[in-house]
Amino acid sequence: NKQQSIQAKETEKQQAIQAKEIEKQQAIRAMESIIHAKEIEKLEHMGKLEEITQKMGAEKRQIIQQKEKEKQLAIQAKDIEIQQALEAMEIEKQQALKEMQAEKDQAIK
């Protein structure tokens, strides 16, 4: 009877140890799944940041391209302005030469 009592207590102890071990394993699995979920969340967040960064990069590139285009147009406009001024001066010079020639011709007559 004493032997049975000892065996019963030993069995109880073994079961308690097993129950604790199972609890421990379940807690570990729960923590692992929480960690895994957090990692996925972090990766998703990083993905969103990457997306935002890419969008910002694209917008920045567009702004830079726009500014470059504006600069090129301003340069072209300035070139046209200079060209027109040169042409106007050339016309004035030709006009002045004609007038001088006319005055010279007039003086000869």
To 5 degrees, how large is the angle CA 42–CA 45–CA 49? 135
**pLDDT tens track for 23-50:** 999 999 999 999 999 998 998 888 888 8
Go through the chain and tell me how many residues it has: 109
- Residue 56 predicted with pLDDT over 80: yes
**pLDDT tens track for 59-101:** 998 999 999 999 999 999 999 999 999 999 999 999 999 999 9
To 5 degrees, how large is the angle CA 28–CA 32–CA 33? 120
Query: Residue 8 and residue 6: Cα distance in Å, rounded?
Result: 5
Q: Which amino acid is it at 6?
A: I
Q: In this structure, what token pair is assigned to residue 18?
A: 């097993």
Q: Give me the residue label for tokens 């969340």.
A: 41
How many other CB atoms are there within 10 angstroms of residue 53's CB atom?
A: 10
DSSP letter at 109 equals -
Q: In this structure, what token pair is assigned to residue 52?
A: 């935002």
